[in-house]
Amino acid sequence: MSAASTSARRRQALALTITGAAVFMVTLDNLVVNALVHGSSDGAVVVGVTADTMVRIAVSDNGRGIASDDLDRIFEPHVRLEPDASPGRGLGLALARAIAEAHGGSLAVASTVGLGTTFTLSFPVAEP
């Protein structure tokens, strides 16, 4: 393999890594901002990370929570449970889930009304 070919492959790999990181950060940013906006007035947001065969990032708030009837709906495009709470078009969670799934991962939610909500973003651990 020529030096030019190796260099081009390295640039392509770097571009893919940077793009992947940027998309990941947009997804995580959406979850944290949602937790801050919809959490309690003290603004307590907890972010935790675990890893085994999957990397799991959990973003939790202690806000009002989400009714069980609405848990699946929040991932649909243009769905906003509290339209006056913040600006937006209701696309953030739909895009976040689509991004996670496009990378072999998932975005799940667990919520208890009156106690808060946890979103868990999971991705497979990259092969070395």
Judge contact between 91 and 77, C-beta under 8 A: yes
Alpha carbons within 13 angstroms on the beta-carbon side of residue 106 total 4
Q: Model confidence over 29-42: pLDDT tens digits?
A: 999 998 998 888 77
Closest CA to 64 of 47, 80, 40, 85: 40
Listed in sequence order, the residues at least 6 apart from 17 whose beta carbon sits closer than 8 Å to its beta carbon are: none
Domain residues for the domain of 81 are 3-124
How far apart (Å, rounded) are the C-alpha atoms in residues 97 and 42?
27
Largest interatomic CA distance in the chain: 62
The count of structural domains within the chain is: 1
The predicted structure's pLDDT at residue 78? 85
Question: pTM of whole model > 0.85?
Answer: no
Strands 45-51 and 116-124: unpaired
Percent pLDDT > 70 in the chain is 78
Burial class of residue 17 (count of CB atoms within 10 Å of its CB; 0-12, 13-18, 19+)? exposed
CATH code for the domain of 36:
3.30.565.10
Average pLDDT over every residue of 79-98 = 79
The predicted structure's pLDDT at residue 85? 65
The predicted structure's pLDDT at residue 13? 44
How far apart (Å, rounded) are the C-alpha atoms in residues 80 and 90?
5
Please indicate whether residue 11 or residue 49 has the higher confidence score (pLDDT): 49
Flag whether pLDDT at 118 surpasses 70.
yes
Please indicate whether residue 17 or residue 71 has the higher confidence score (pLDDT): 71
